[in-house]
Structure 1
Amino acid sequence: MRYFSSLSLGLTSLGLVLSLTTLPGCGSRSGTDSENATAAVDSVAKPVVVDTLQLKREAMRRDSLKADSIVKASGQLPGAILPGKRIVAFYGNIRAKGMGILGREPKEQMLAKFRKVQKEWQEADPSIPVQPALHSVTITAQAAAGKDGKYRLMNSKATIDETIQWAKDNGCIVFLDVQVGLSDLENELHKLEPWLKDPIVHLGIDPEFAMKTKGVRPGKKIGTYDAKDVNYTINFLARIVSENKLPPKVLTVHRFTQGMITNTKNIKLDPRVQVVMHMDGWGNPTLKKDSYKAYIEKQMVQYTGFKLFYEYDARPAPHHIMTAKEVLAELNPKPLYIQYQ
């Protein structure tokens, strides 16, 4: 259940240096002035046509090969979060009570609850450190079309900056989550690039609200992404990592049905981006575990995630919100990304 709310290489100009023609010595003229002028023009090199897209692709490939070689030698790139830590996140929007725990309670009350959750997970599995995270829905699907008819709305710069500051003040990383509505990733992700240059900022994409191929507004049907959309996002993040000399980014991809991600086997991994397929359906524990097995375990991509809902997992009684010990005991592989809404 969801709520509506919300290398580029710097090419140096290829200037042509025109050498001054030396004056001919006595008796050296071999043609008319007009012929000499024509010859001088013909001798100037023609401008070189540069395929900037090809240069970008080649640079990306070189960086990818370099990353691959480092991973083969050391097991992962420097600064990689996974699999050395388990990410535990509070999800929502600091400006919206209805979107999740992140904005539902007053800030200090929410943070106190979050610290207890982190402690629960650390005690449930002392072998792996907990990395706290704030997962903020930043481009949000809307019930209204908006001026451009795309059914999505981006948070203000002030809201994004404040969320990141909350994270920095509390030892957290940040995920900026994207619900594109009737837009697409190509037109939305670049809006977040200024913040993604920060090493603590990561990305989430939510196919539930990706409606371009469905042709209806968000909420009418469950949306979908194909492997090519996930690959586009991976390449987008990999470029940012390379250009800004950052540690790997984590990408969370929400999924709780078969159709939300198509052609999973065609997703192409890159060491600069750590991909989490995240089971974020709500309901009783049996249903949630079955969904995890069907759509996450059986269609493994890289790392796995699991979502817990404060409001909906416990309905109706005697259903309950799974504890950290339950999740770790009953899911295989054990998820390295845990999210609370």
Structure 2
Amino acid sequence: MTDEVSGRSGSGISGARVAGGRSARSVPSPDASRRRMLAVTAAAGLGVLTGCGGTPSGGGSAPEAAPPDGSRSSPSTGAGTSGSSPSAGSGAPAPSGSATAHPTRPHKRSRPELPRGGRELFPHYRMVGFCGLPGAAALGRLGTGTPAQRAAEVEKVAHRYAAGREPLPVLELLATVANASAGPDGTYRSRTPAATIRRFHDVARDRRAMLLLNIQPGRAPVLDEVKALREWLVHPDVGIALDPEWEMGRGQVPGDTYGRTSGQELTRVARYLSGLVEAHDLPQKPLVFHQVAPSVVQKQSALRPQPGVALIKSADGIGSPGLKRGTWQRLVRDLPQGLHTGFKLFYEEDAQGSRLMTPKEVLALRPQPEYVMYE
């Protein structure tokens, strides 16, 4: 039995149909060009990123880099929080000869907060973001212009989705990119250079936005890819987005078939993030997983929310407003308790032969999406 997917059928992908029941093999896919671009970009070792600083890491690990604040000693001191300082609350004694009659009392260290305050994402905030890879326009909105330009743009878009909540802009950067070729380590994935991640984190902090690091793992173990990003995840304004459509099993190649994850695997990732939250006293950390069809997440009932982690299921899929509503209804049916919802829109592909859904239409979905992402 095949899943009816709203337009998400890449070149050569089997076992899926475009909306309307037509075979993916006989109908040009609206996002086939994106998949080909992804394969070409990754196969080139993320060469398009060299203009963003750093040396492409290809299939290997991203080089070690200091956090954007230049400090490793206290990564949870409120990066991304307005008015925070790594030295605040150090409690250093007054210099010798000071006129102070008594020793300075240590200041109570403020707890790290989300970029715009507080420690809980929902229901106070609605996250609205752009995703992509710099220099690769076919892979999303972040592929055009500069990070600062896109951050300014997403700020404006986010306010259109407020609807009684405070908008929280998001930059969802592709940090691990599925690759059409195996690469030197056979993982079919490339990692974005640390210098590029740092550049986006700097912009996110400057704009008081959230940075999500998107993982398309290829054949690499998902948890390994998450752990490789630990130096960023110890910050209070950095979360994870998983793209299990690109998670391949043995013998599978990205672009040839849909990948999949499971409720158990998502729980393992959430448990790891929960451990970081506890160890560094971080605010709630988002864990998004994009889902294009029911088959992409196996045994969803095994998904277990973890303390300090906001699990967000984002409905993926290209198509007209009607087709996207249909995909939404299939994917949000029988949601596990504690799971939040997200919705994905495509500026170009959704508009091909139809039109892009308006914020009013997106907010009319039930349950109301708490994360809206544009590619």
Q: Is the TM value for this pair above 0.5?
A: yes
Offset from partner CA, 1:240-270 (integer Å, 9 cap, x none): 1111111121100110101100111110111
What is the aligned partner in structure 1 of residue 293 from structure 2?
257
Offset from partner CA, 1:266-304 (integer Å, 9 cap, x none): 101112111000012111111111111101243345100
* CA distance in 2: counterparts of 1:280 and 1:328, whole angstroms: 16
* Number of equivalenced pairs: 263
* CA distance in 2: counterparts of 1:247 and 1:110, whole angstroms: 25
Q: For 1:108-147, list aligned pairs within 5 A.
A: 109-122=149-162, 125=163, 127-147=164-184
Identity score, percent:
32
Moved over 6 A (4+): none
- Displacement of 1:210 in angstroms is 0.3
In 2, are the aligned partners of 1:206 and 1:254 still within 8 Å (CA)?
A: yes
In 1, are the aligned partners of 2:131 and 2:141 still within 8 Å (CA)?
A: yes
Choose which of 303, 315, 318 in structure 1 pairs with 2:352: 315
Offset from partner CA, 1:297-337 (integer Å, 9 cap, x none): 43345100001110101111xx11111111112x1000000
Offset from partner CA, 1:190-214 (integer Å, 9 cap, x none): 100110000000001111000025x
2:360 is equivalent to residue 325 of structure 1: yes
Q: TM-score w.r.t. structure 1 length? A: 0.74
2:200 is equivalent to residue 163 of structure 1: yes
With over 3 angstroms needed to count, the CA separation of the structure-2 counterparts of 1:284 and 1:290, relative to structure 1, is same
In 2, are the aligned partners of 1:304 and 1:336 still within 8 Å (CA)?
A: yes
In 2, are the aligned partners of 1:98 and 1:104 still within 8 Å (CA)?
A: no
What is the aligned partner in structure 2 of residue 79 from structure 1?
119
Q: Which moved more, 1:172-181 or 1:297-306?
A: 297-306
Gaps in structure 2 of 5+ consecutive residues: 1-30, 43-117
What amino acid is the match of 2:332?
A: I
Choose which of 271, 276, 297 in structure 1 pairs with 2:307: 271
What amino acid is the match of 1:287?
A: L
What is the aligned partner in structure 1 of residue 222 from structure 2?
185
- Displacement of 1:216 in angstroms is 1.3
Q: For 1:189-338, list aligned pairs within 5 A.
A: 189-212=226-249, 215-300=251-336, 302-316=339-353, 319-329=354-364, 331-338=365-372
* CA distance in 1: counterparts of 2:363 and 2:132, whole angstroms: 24
What amino acid is the match of 2:206?
A: D
Larger-Rg structure:
1
In 2, are the aligned partners of 1:97 and 1:105 still within 8 Å (CA)?
A: no
Q: Which moved more, 1:165-174 or 1:331-340?
A: 165-174
With over 3 angstroms needed to count, the CA separation of the structure-2 counterparts of 1:229 and 1:325, relative to structure 1, is same
Gaps in structure 1 of 5+ consecutive residues: 7-77
Match of 1:139, SS state, is: strand
Q: TM-score w.r.t. structure 2 length? A: 0.67
Match of 2:228, SS state, is: helix
CA RMSD of aligned residues (A): 1.6
* CA distance in 2: counterparts of 1:172 and 1:160, whole angstroms: 14
**More helix, by proportion:** 1
